[in-house]
Structure formats: C-alpha cells, structure tokens
C-alpha cells in the first residue's frame, strides 16, 4: 500500500478560483437565493466526485451560511474526489460561514482525494469562516494520494476575523462497515459548532494569539471526529490530516 500526503501552498487567487470552479461543475449545488441561511444536501454515485460549499454575503444579504454534505462512491479503477468550503466577505459587518462534509468510498486501485477550506475578508468588522471535513475510505487502493489544505487571508481590513480549517480522515484496509447516518449527523453538528466558534473567536489580541486558538479548537474537533469514525466503522486506525489558518 502506497499512501502519499501532499501539502501545497498556492496563491490566493489560484486557490479560490480553483475552488469556485469545483463548485461550478457540481450540478447539484444550489445557487444563492434571498434567504440569509442556505444549505444543500446531496447523495450520489458518480465518477465526478465533487462536493462544494460557498458563502458570499452582500450588503443586501449580510449573513450567509452555506452547508454541503455528500456521500459518494466510485467503482472505477481510478477516481478523484474533491471537497471544498469557501467563505468570502467584502462588505462592512458581513458574516460568511461555509462548511462541507464529504464521505467518499473508493473501490478502485488508484485514488486521489483533495480537501480544501478557504476564507477571505476584505472589509471592516466582518467575518469569514470555512470548514471542510472529508472522510476517505479506500480499502483496496494500491496507490492513494491525499491533499489537505486551508487558507485564510485578511485583505486591507481592520477588526476582521478570518479562519479556515481542513480536516481529512483516511481509512485503508480493515472493516467493510460504512459510516452510519447517525455518525454523519454527529459529525455535521460538531463541524458546524467548530465553524461557529472559529467565526466568533475574538481577534483583538492579534494573529499571534488567534492562530493558536484556532488550531486548538480544530485539533480538539479532529480528535472528537476521529473517535466517532473509529467507533462507528470499527476500524483499528484512521490517518488524520489537519490544516488550520487564521487571517493576517
């Protein structure tokens, strides 16, 4: 079994453009509407394994929460899955919160999984929070490449809070039990709790304190989620990849 973990640093424009492109090709994702809170759920079987969430508040719609959740499976010899959460705020006092949760089952020999969270703020007293959680189950794959990354940027703004967290779990071999609906519900609740706490985290102390605080919250969440997954699917171990960023 060959498992390769890659962490890359991208420019903000390339990363966010790529994430939004993923959202654009995911046909099941609903477009923005007049409601301040919008969510979508999808369960499908496909060779195009993309799950994307995007929260972009405006002056007319200053608080936006977007949530995407999907369970996908591919039986082809090769497969590539992507989970993406993006939040951007560019209006004074606005708040954007985006969460994505993907469970992907690879039944083929070669697989690639990409998990990303990006948050961007360019406005006074605004907040942006993005959390993406991905569970990868590849019990037969002889080659598995996983990527997990988070990005958070403050752009010419004061009193803004920008945080992102990408949490990825990988299970290879072992039990064939699948993640239950009850476990999925628990994970989404904990994930939403993390997004809320990251968005509400005080920022007046500056990046030096806010970054460790965000990391502590994310690490604690990842540990809670790992325990739920291990108990539910009956696996002995789960690889855990965590990346968290606070805007600066």
* Confidence bin at 202 (pLDDT 50/70/90): low
Mean pLDDT of the chain: 79
- Whether 83 shows a pLDDT value over 90: the answer reads yes
pLDDT, one tens digit per residue, over 135-180 is 999 888 788 899 999 999 988 887 888 999 999 999 987 767 899 9
Q: Does the predicted model carry a pTM greater than 0.75? A: yes
* CA-based nearest residue to 63, from 34, 42, 102: 34
119 CA to centre of own chain:
11
- Whether 131 shows a pLDDT value over 70: the answer reads yes
**Residues 68, 99: Cα–Cα separation, whole Å:** 6
What confidence score (pLDDT) does residue 200 get?
Answer: 75
Q: For the residues 76-101, what does the mean pLDDT come to?
A: 89
Structure tokens at 209: 């304190």
What confidence score (pLDDT) does residue 110 get?
Answer: 85
pLDDT, one tens digit per residue, over 94-127 is 999 999 999 999 888 888 999 999 999 998 889 9
Q: Between vectors from CA 174 to CA 142 and to CA 3, what angle results, nearest 5°?
A: 30
- Per the CB < 8 A criterion, the answer to whether 62 and 93 are in contact is yes
- Whether 17 shows a pLDDT value over 50: the answer reads no
Lowest mean pLDDT among 18-22, 78-82, 112-116: 18-22
- Whether 19 shows a pLDDT value over 90: the answer reads no
What confidence score (pLDDT) does residue 48 get?
Answer: 53
- Per the CB < 8 A criterion, the answer to whether 70 and 44 are in contact is yes
Lowest mean pLDDT among 10-14, 102-106, 201-205, 232-236: 10-14
With tokens 């604690």, the residue in question is 220
Mean pLDDT is highest, among 47-61, 87-101, 190-204, 208-222, for: 87-101
What confidence score (pLDDT) does residue 169 get?
Answer: 96
- Of residues 43 and 239, more confidence is placed in 239
């Amino acid at each position: 079994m060959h498992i390769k973990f890659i962490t890359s640093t991208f420019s903000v424009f390339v990363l966010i453009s790529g994430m939004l492109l993923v959202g654009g090709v995911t046909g099941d994702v609903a477009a923005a509407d007049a409601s301040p809170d919008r969510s979508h759920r999808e369960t499908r079987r496909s060779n195009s394994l993309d799950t994307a969430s995007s929260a972009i508040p405006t002056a007319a719609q200053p608080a936006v929460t977007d949530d995407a959740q999907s369970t996908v499976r591919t039986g082809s010899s090769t497969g590539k899955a992507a989970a993406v959460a993006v939040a951007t705020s560019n209006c004074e006092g606005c708040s954007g919160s985006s969460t994505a949760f993907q469970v992907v089952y690879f039944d083929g020999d070669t697989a690639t999984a990409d998990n990303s969270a990006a948050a961007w703020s360019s406005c006074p007293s605004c907040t942006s929070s993005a959390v993406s959680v991905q569970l990868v189950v590849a019990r037969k794959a002889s080659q598995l490449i996983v990527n997990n990354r988070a990005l958070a940027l403050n752009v010419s703004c004061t009193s803004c809070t920008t945080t992102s967290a990408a949490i990825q779990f990988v299970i290879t071999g072992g039990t064939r039990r699948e993640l239950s609906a009850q476990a999925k519900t628990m994970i989404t609740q904990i994930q939403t709790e993390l997004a809320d706490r990251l968005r509400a985290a005080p920022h007046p102390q500056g990046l030096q304190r806010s970054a460790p605080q965000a990391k502590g919250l994310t690490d604690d969440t990842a540990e809670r989620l790992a325990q739920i997954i291990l108990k539910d699917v009956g696996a002995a171990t789960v690889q855990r990849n965590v990346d968290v960023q606070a805007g600066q």
